Structure 1
Amino acid sequence: NILMVGPPGTGKSMIAKRIVTIMPPMDEEEAIETTKIHSAGGLINEQHAFIATRPFRSPHHTISDAGLLGGGTNPGPGEVSLANNGVLFLDELPEFRRSTLEVLRQPLEDNKVTISRAAGSVTFPARFMLVAAMNPCPCGFYGDTKRACKCSPPVIQRYRQRISGPLLDRIDLHVEVPLVEYKELSSKEVGESSADIRNRVIAAREIQAERFKKHRGVHTNSGMTPRLIKQHCELDAECNGYLEHAMNDLNFSARAHDRILKVARTLADLNAREKITGDDILGAIGYRSLDRNMWS
């Protein structure tokens, strides 16, 4: 799960839309499951009878709790389930109602949503990647070296506190997206293509598939239980020192501790490293930059 923070016009929405292009293709089981969910939501027609590409859902910030989770007299899937096996993008995150954001916590933890009615209950899968974007303050220019921020400290604090600590705790990657300088925009240097990145992601997924082949229901690092984390995220003295320092000095939660290890394991996989290195741990800690104690 990713939260991008930066002023307007820095490419946050563009990055979000590109994420599905670097994810591995859906396998047959995922495609069938995704198609079934969309069929239950009445979104299948003759032109789109089978969904073979990962879904990208981007609901407006005025969406209701039921629209996000699902509901109705005959319960249908909400956005969290329609994004199953794909990406749920929430732009302008603080503009969503606090209650709406809080209902995200359970599906982010359980990867499913249960809707109960008098006649019974229905459970829909909700294994999605949450990608969110927000400005650093209401005017958007806090921390900008070229444009002055017009927001007072209390206004900025109230704006940021719309994102609760427990929700922020469930977001693995906190990414600051600064304005792009003209020098970079005009550069002829070509960056890594989506296809190349996707190949690295696929290679890392293959490593994880091999790692968890004997563990039913676990396919990627994100699904590791505390026991599996201890088994597959062993740290040497240097790495352990970095993590201990972060836990003690930055007051990370136990959930953040486990997510740091999962991210570090994934960084190692992306670089085809068998063991987690100091760079992997420091990188994973760096991605927690917006946790509550650093959110001021």
Structure 2
Amino acid sequence: MTKPPRQKSQPLLRETDLPVRSRLLKARDPARPQLPFDPMPDRIEPCLALLKAKPPSGPDWICEADANLYAFDLLYFDGHDLTKMELSGRRHLLEDLIGESEGAIRVSEVLEADGATVLAAACEHGLEGIIVKHRDSAYRWGRLGDWLKIKCIQSDSFVIVGYEPSSAARGGIGSLLLGAYQGNAFVYVGSVGTGFKEKDAMKLRRMLDTLKIKRAPVAVDKKGLVFVQPTLIAEIEYRAWTDDGKLRHSSYKGLREQQDNAAIYKLGE
């Protein structure tokens, strides 16, 4: 007697309109509270790291380290919106969900050390920098300071407000004068005179000469300068800031391809 053909499995179909729920990798901890169900959001705006020159210290902050594909947060799970839960709780659920995986997807590692120590180790290994997050923070979109980014070598965007001419320098540019936002106005944050390639410097000089203006857009106490409309945005690498608010050991890395005023460095009030 032949067996009747098996029907194809349809695991995602249900007789009711109830949502399909994911399967847990292991049993839930009964001591954990049961959360009410929340609708799955169409989109969650990303939480962004605020750039800082030095990492914070103290037990309220955690440092995370990069390799393979790392999952570093859990915002929605099993019908629950987790964005209002504190970071430490979200990470606890994420670690339970993924487990101690050695595969391609892993949970980002929390480094139990002071931020300055972690940053020094990252720089010694040639990494770009570290991310530091406040343990008790909910997930909030934008750069609000709950997450911080500290780079080994700082790199930011500054508006070009003028240049110092030079007959000996490439393209006739001795140095570029740089500005940053302070409130709604630009302030002078120093100059950059290294990093120029001859071809790029000549092209940049031609662009700047079409933007010349007579009145300085920022206060600069130096003679013989050429001022320009604050239109072009340069990417600058630098090591630190001086006590009077100027860039130290800066190097020109090129113009931003898109004119994005939101990317111009903002000084504290």
**Bin for the TM-score computed over the shorter chain:** under 0.3
Give the TM-score, by structure 1 length.
Answer: 0.22
| Greater per-residue strand proportion | 2
Structure with higher Rg: it is 2
Give the TM-score, by structure 2 length.
Answer: 0.24
